[in-house]
Amino acid sequence: MNPTMYAQQLELFDLFNPKSIKNARSQLTFVDLFAGIGGFRIPLEELGCKCLGYSEIDQKAIQVYRDNFIKDANSDEVYLGDITNLSQFPFAIDVLVGGVPCQPWSIAGKMQGLDDPRGKLWTDVFRVVKANRPKAFIFE
Q: 3-class SS at 63?
A: helix
Which listed residue (57, 102, 111, 136) is catalytic? 102
How far is the C-alpha of 128 from the C-alpha of 139, rounded, in Å? 13
DSSP letter assigned to residue 52 = E
Neighbouring residues of 101: CB distance < 8 A, sequence distance ≥ 6: 34, 118, 121
How far is the C-alpha of 51 from the C-alpha of 31, rounded, in Å? 6
Phi (first) and psi of residue 40, to 5 degrees: -80, -35
102 is catalytic: yes
Question: Which residues have a catalytic role annotated?
Answer: 102
